[in-house]
Structures are given as C-alpha cells and as structure tokens.
Amino acid sequence: MYRELIENMADNYGSDCDIRFPDVPIPFTTKAFISPMNYKYKNFAGISYGVDGSVSDRTYRYIGKITPDLGRLPKGSVIVCDGKTYRVDSSDLYTFQGEAIYCRATLKLCEGGAYDD
C-alpha cells in the first residue's frame, strides 16, 4: 500500500535519473527525488551565504523506488539527474511493518567526472 503510493509519486513528480554502472553502456533509468540536505546547517537546504554569495555543501538526499537498491550498486556506479552526477555515500531501504517502502540514500555531487571529497 505505502510502497505503491511512493512509486506513484515518484512516477508522477520525480526527476528522471540514469544510474550508470561501470562497463555497462546502457544506464538504468528510474524516477526519484534528489534534494540538498541541510543536516550541517540550520538554514534552508544546506546553503550558507557569505560575502561572495551562496555556497552548497554538496550533500544530497535521494528518495526513490526500492528497485534499484542503491546500497547494492557496484563500485564506480554513478547517478545522473538533471545534468548533475552523484555517487552514493550511504543507502538503505526504509521499511514499515516488515515491508520495504522506498530506497533512501545520501549522495555526494561529483564534479568533472571525479568524486568531490
């Protein structure tokens, strides 16, 4: 019941995301929500403002369908969404009453094709 609700919301309102595996020419396409996390800052969306403008901490939250389980991606896999490339820092399936409802993950933005640590 709840899983179908999340999947319908992702299908209708989520962004197109390509999950690219190493050495596989065709990506896996899914719909998901990716948004900046604000766990480090008290202000909105993890953005701090300085003299030169706004600065993002480049950590993002992923909410998507249980397939694919991002925690099982092979090393070197990336997610491409809205022209940005991300790697998975951590991931798990959120469960409710013993049923997997959605996949949630913490993503890092990759710049220039390399990991931005």
Q: Which pLDDT band holds residue 2 (cuts at 50, 70, 90)?
A: confident
Long-range CB pairs of 35-44, under 8 A, 24+ apart, other chains included: 35/60, 35/61, 36/60, 36/61, 37/61, 37/106
Task: Please tell me whether the peptide bond between 74 and the residue prior to it is cis, using omega within 30 degrees of 0.
Answer: no
Segment 37-61 mean pLDDT: 56
Q: DSSP states of 44-105 as a string?
A: GGGEEEETTEEEE--EEEEEE-SSS-GGGPPTT-EEEETTEEEEEEEEEEEEETTEEEEEEE
- Which of the 8 DSSP states describes residue 14? P
> Over pLDDT 70: what percentage of the chain?
77
pLDDT at 22: 87
Predicted TM-score (pTM) of this structure? 0.77
Segment 7-11 mean pLDDT: 93
In this predicted model, which residue has the larger pLDDT, 3 or 57?
3
pLDDT tens digits for range 64-98: 999 888 888 888 888 999 889 998 888 999 999 99
pLDDT at 112 over 60: no
Q: Average per-residue pLDDT in the chain?
A: 81
